[in-house]
Amino acid sequence: MDVVLVGACGANLLPNYFRILCDMAIIPHDLTITKPDYDGGSIANLMCAVADSFGVTSSASSYVPLCGYEERLRDAERIVLLVVDGFGMELLRSIGRGTVFDKFFSRQMTSVYPPTTATAITTFMSGVAPQQHGLTGWFMHFRRLGAVAAVLPFIPRYGFESFTNAGVEIGSILDCPSFFDSLKCPSTALLPAVIADSEFSQLLGGRAHREAYSSLDDFASKLRNHCVGGEESKFVYAYWSEFDRLCHLHGPSSETVEQHLNALDEALTPIFEACANDGTVLVATADHGFIDSGTDRRIELDDHPEMLDMLSLPLCGEPRSAYCYVRPSCTVAFEQYVTSELSEYANLVPSDNLIADGWFGLGGAHPELATRVGDYTLQMKERYTIVDRVAGERRHQLEGVHGGTSAAEMFVPLMIAGP
């Protein structure tokens, strides 16, 4: 159970045992199990609404557009989609009061499953849900590669050398559509300089002009140029990643994250307020939310060697939603082990059930979806994570996590500015 305190529980005057008791969890996370609302209330439905405004017939016909924004989007001179990575609904309510995001808040939506960058950002850049684009988490097993890869940097899990350098083209492994390529008008993807020319950005960016930024000031300046009509692009996708990084390193309840949100508020307020005069509809949202976690909530698979021996591959997906590839002869033993040893920390779900129950989306599935989610999924309870390690892998000490089933991770805000 989370302990909720008012003030900075990490103050120097507090004794160590009290710091441990307070657990740094200032935000009272809503851990209610929450499925994506693909019937009209998810970021996939938002992308359908944007597609409709440009006269694009979505290839994912099972989804309805997010309701209530049709006329506003259709009449816009241009649409700018701003995605603040990690800025979930719970964070808006807890530390975002009085900010520009609060002022222009319109409604809440769900992310997709799992609510994580690799899966949700692909929905923004492809226009379709995971059921169709087939990207299911940070770590994925690709049969055509014969390896587990970190999909966004397109590197093997054990190292940092891109598959491209080994002669593997990302387009031969990922067959996601590009939302930008469905548009007949000019478009721009405003991205951090470190990923603007990555294999993933090139593939999903399609025909869009990729524009790099190097700092918050640079981002705000370039975003403003697009919003006030100084650029010809009719659709702009602007992605801010630093909020997510700080939440991972320090936890969403940290003072560092709140200070960064204040800096974002100061930088972006004039841009939100300027949109109405220039015919730009600025649509701002996030890909997922966050919860505080840490080492005391981490289950190490090395501590469960019997279970480790039952797996044919390393864990895939996310530490909050881990896909397990189980040796066929160990299926019964695996279920029994998880039930007896890990039931306090995780729900064990056959991955096929997640597909059938609509966690990844609606309608026809990507042909590789079932192979990319393993035999079972460990949906972690409360604020727990589960991790393993492969040879050569560097361990990351994360204080904030996402990718699970909680409302705190699943709900994201929608802000609208402009005419």
Other CB atoms within 10 A of residue 225 CB: 15
* Gap between the Cα atoms of 204 and 178, Å rounded: 5
- pLDDT confidence of residue 60: 56
Domain boundaries, the chain: 1-30, 43-292+407-417, 295-401
* Gap between the Cα atoms of 376 and 119, Å rounded: 18
- pLDDT confidence of residue 5: 33
pTM score:
0.92
Burial class of residue 7 (count of CB atoms within 10 Å of its CB; 0-12, 13-18, 19+): exposed
Q: Dihedral sign for Cα 47, 49, 54, 59, please.
A: positive
Per-residue pLDDT of the chain (419 residues; tens, 9 = 90+): 333 333 333 333 333 333 333 444 479 999 999 999 999 999 999 999 999 999 987 655 689 999 999 899 999 999 999 999 999 999 999 999 999 999 999 999 999 999 999 999 999 999 999 999 999 999 999 999 999 999 999 999 988 889 999 999 999 999 999 999 999 999 999 999 999 999 999 999 999 999 999 999 999 999 999 998 766 889 999 999 999 999 999 999 999 999 999 999 999 999 999 987 888 999 999 999 999 998 899 999 999 999 999 999 999 999 999 999 999 999 999 999 999 999 999 999 999 999 999 999 999 999 999 999 999 999 999 999 999 999 878 777 899 999 999 999 999 999 999 98
Kindly report whether the peptide bond that precedes residue 114 is cis, defined as omega within 30 degrees of 0: yes
- pLDDT confidence of residue 7: 34
* Gap between the Cα atoms of 51 and 48, Å rounded: 5
Q: What angle do CA 212, 213, 218 make, to 5 degrees?
A: 145
- CATH topology identical between 43-292+407-417 and 295-401: no
* Gap between the Cα atoms of 415 and 283, Å rounded: 6
What's the CATH class of domain 295-401? alpha beta
Tokens standing for residue 148: 């587990």
Longest dimension (CA), the chain: 65
- pLDDT confidence of residue 391: 86
- pLDDT confidence of residue 21: 35
Per-residue H/E/C for the chain: CCCCCCCCCCCCCCCHHHHHHHCCCCCCCCCCECCCCCCCCEHHHHHHHHHHHCCCCCCCCCCCCCCCCHHHHHCCCEEEEEEECCCCHHHHHHHCCCCHHHHCEEEEEECCCCCCHHHHHHHHHHCCCHHHHCCCCCEEEECCCCEEEECCCCEECCCCCCHHHHCCCHHHCCCCCCCHHHCCCCEEEEEECCCCCCHHHHHHHCCCEEEEECCHHHHHHHHHHHHCCCCCCCEEEEEECHHHHHHHHHCCCCHHHHHHHHHHHHHHHHHHHHHHHCCEEEEEECCCCCEECCHHHEEEHHHCHHHHCCECCCCEEECCEEEECECHHHHHHHHHHHHHHHCCCEEEEEHHHHHHCCCCCCCCCCCCCHHHCCCEEEEECCCCEEECCCCCCCCCCCCEECCCCEHHHHEEEEEEECC
Tokens standing for residue 413: 């805000």
Q: Let me know: does 117 contact 242? Beta carbons within 8 Å.
A: no
Beta pairing, strands 280-285 & 385-387: unpaired
Fill in the amino acid letter for 40.
G
- pLDDT confidence of residue 59: 57
What's the CATH class of domain 43-292+407-417? alpha beta
